[in-house]
């Protein structure tokens, strides 16, 4: 008690609070997020685009799966069952924004009923990305050291290194001006909407995809057809 007198303890209290606080400062509050909370929606448009110059859209009835890897197996094959819903929902959003869908592309062109400068092409693609990494679980190591059998070596990695792997899936919608391409002869979109989220939870995939597609349009108030 002589070593830790009441007076000393009183003086040490702020230091203890400081240390505890700094340790806490290294942590970030966990809100207990669900799988759908990891969904994100990104939109972008080409600067200077006058979306009201467009009145029509055409849309292929196929969703492209982009697989940049060397594997011949399509990692998104199981998502094909949502294609119909995605195509329908995307078209519905464009119709709700005042665009008229054209199905006969022979009617589009100079001297034809529909000016190509007023037509957008809606392209939809999907891809998946694998993520992996590791992190040190310092708190677990700290408390774990107090239990029999763990011992103090437990403080040091790699005993408390955790690894993680997860896969995200992305649904990409591009709006391209009909007949236009960039210098590389590639489609140059005037608008892109991306919905991305964790894969592996089929029970919620359908509703999350629908939410994601709708959100990309909702956060693009400038995207509507001219009269």
Partner 1 sequence: MVKILKTLVLAALLTATAMGQNQMSGITWNMGFPTGRMADFMDKTSFSGFGIDFNRFVGDNTSVGVSFSWNYWSELNSDIINLNNGAVSGTQVRYYNSFAMLLNARYYLSEKNSDFRPYAGINAGTYYITQRLDIGVYSFQNDHWHFGLAPEAGFLMEVSRGTYLNANFRYNYAVKSGTTYSGQDNTLAYWGINVGLDWATGWF
E-only strand ranges, the chain = 40-45, 56-58, 64-65, 100-101, 119-136, 161-177, 189-198
For residues 90 and 220, the answer to whether their CB atoms sit within 8 Å is no
For residues 213 and 90, the answer to whether their CB atoms sit within 8 Å is yes
Pick 80 or 131: Cβ nearer partner 1: 131
Pick 7 or 185: Cβ nearer partner 1: 7
Token readout for 172 is 């990409």
Interacting residue ranges for partner 1, rule: CB under 8 A = 7-8, 10-11, 13-15, 17-18, 21-22, 24-25, 28-29, 31, 33, 36-47, 131, 166, 168, 192, 196-198, 215, 219-220
Pick 108 or 199: Cβ nearer partner 1: 199
Helix, strand, or coil (residue 213):
helix
Q: How far apart are CA 66 and CA 52, in angstroms?
A: 31
CB 153, min distance to partner 1, A: 31
Q: How far apart are CA 42 and CA 16, in angstroms?
A: 44
CB 171, min distance to partner 1, A: 13
Q: Which helix (H) or strand (E) holds 16?
A: helix 6-25
Pick 15 or 183: Cβ nearer partner 1: 15
CB 105, min distance to partner 1, A: 29
CB 4, min distance to partner 1, A: 13
Pick 99 or 217: Cβ nearer partner 1: 217
Among 176, 180, 170, CA closest to 213: 170
CB 134, min distance to partner 1, A: 15
């Amino acid at each position: 008690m002589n070593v830790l007198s009441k007076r000393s303890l009183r003086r040490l209290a702020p230091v203890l609070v400081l240390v505890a606080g700094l340790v806490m400062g290294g942590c970030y509050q966990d809100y207990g997020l669900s799988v759908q909370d990891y969904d994100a929606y990104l939109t972008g448009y080409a600067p200077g685009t006058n979306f009201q110059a467009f009145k029509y859209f055409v849309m292929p009835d196929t969703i492209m799966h982009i697989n940049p890897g060397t594997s011949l197996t399509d990692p998104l094959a199981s998502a094909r069952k949502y294609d119909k819903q995605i195509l329908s929902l995307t078209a519905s959003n464009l119709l709700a924004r005042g665009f008229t869908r054209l199905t006969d592309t022979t009617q589009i062109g100079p001297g034809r009923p529909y000016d190509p400068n007023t037509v957008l092409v809606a392209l939809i693609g999907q891809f998946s990305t694998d993520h992996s990494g590791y992190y040190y679980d310092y708190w677990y190591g700290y408390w774990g050291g107090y239990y029999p059998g763990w011992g103090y070596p437990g403080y040091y990695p790699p005993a408390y290194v955790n690894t993680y792997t997860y896969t995200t899936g992305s649904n990409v919608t591009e709006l391209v001006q009909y007949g236009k391409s960039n210098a590389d002869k590639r489609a140059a979109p005037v608008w892109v909407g991306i919905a991305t989220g964790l894969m592996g939870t089929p029970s919620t995939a359908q509703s999350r995809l629908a939410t994601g597609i709708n959100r990309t349009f909702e956060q693009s108030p400038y995207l509507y057809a001219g009269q």
